[in-house]
Amino acid sequence: MYAGIAGAETSSNHPGATHAVFVALADTVREFGIPKHEFGDLLVAFRQDQRVVRYQTFDEVLGYCRNSANPVGHLVLYLCGYKDEERQRLSDYTCTALQLANFWQDVTLDWPKGRVYLPLDDLRRFGVTEEQIGERRFDGNFRELMKFEVARAREWFGRGLPLVKMVNRPLALDLELFSRGGLAILDAIEGQDYNVLARRPSLSKLNKAGLALRALAGRIALGRAG
């Protein structure tokens, strides 16, 4: 996706741009009044992933999320007719929380790629080393680190919840489903005693079925109300 946006931005600098991605997006951007900076922010995140593989502080991680995750939520809001800053702010909490849940879930997947999204300040605070990640050496210090990070992600999900009551019902159902899915990932991490080094936390078939049934029930109720 990012690569396509990169090409689209390059082409958009010229009046007669013909890049397929830019051409495909042009009508939608005009129709829904989507600012170009939303796509530009995604491009910034793409470039950042090529050169930044460690984050010293949680604020730096949030900075990455502002470009990689939050614009996606903004785009959805624009497509649903919402352009105000308040809804975007609440959406940012949810999108950032989803990104954090993904980071905490994928610690062992990111390591072979040379990336560590756990803030280095937090590693030092809890007495955890990068070598532990590489060696998949779980101990009490690592447990406390992940317990802290999971709690922080839960807090961000909570901050975004008010948005569900501020959008139309179909979008509210999607937001609730995404949030429940992200929270379920955090539950899975907690369920294996925060040991994301032994195996990647994932949703069980039962959890997935439960989420699907909730979504289906919501859609059915929406159809009846219509």
pLDDT average, residue stretch 207-211 = 51
User: What is the overall mean pLDDT for the chain?
Assistant: 85
Task: Please give the pLDDT value at position 29.
Answer: 82
Task: Please give the pLDDT value at position 25.
Answer: 74
Q: Kindly state the percentage of the chain with pLDDT values over 90.
A: 67
All residues at 6 or more sequence positions from 89 whose CB lies less than 8 Å from its CB, including other chains: none
Q: Give per-residue pLDDT as tens, 119-139.
A: 999 999 999 999 999 999 999
Task: Please give the pLDDT value at position 40.
Answer: 87
Q: Give per-residue pLDDT as tens, 151-196.
A: 999 999 999 999 999 999 999 999 998 999 999 999 999 999 999 9
Task: Please give the pLDDT value at position 220.
Answer: 41
- Asked whether residue 71 carries a pLDDT value surpassing 90, the answer given is yes
Task: Please give the pLDDT value at position 86.
Answer: 97
All structural domains of the chain? 53-225 (1.10.600.10)
172 burial class (0-12, 13-18, 19+ CB within 10 angstroms)? Answer: middle
- Give the three-state DSSP class for 116: strand
Which pTM does this prediction carry? Answer: 0.80
Q: Is the dihedral of CA 47, 65, 190, 135 positive or negative?
A: positive
DSSP state of 118: S
Higher pLDDT, 95 or 19: 95
- Asked whether residue 226 carries a pLDDT value surpassing 90, the answer given is no
134, 138, 144, 148 alpha-carbon torsion, rounded to 10°: 40
DSSP state of 54: B
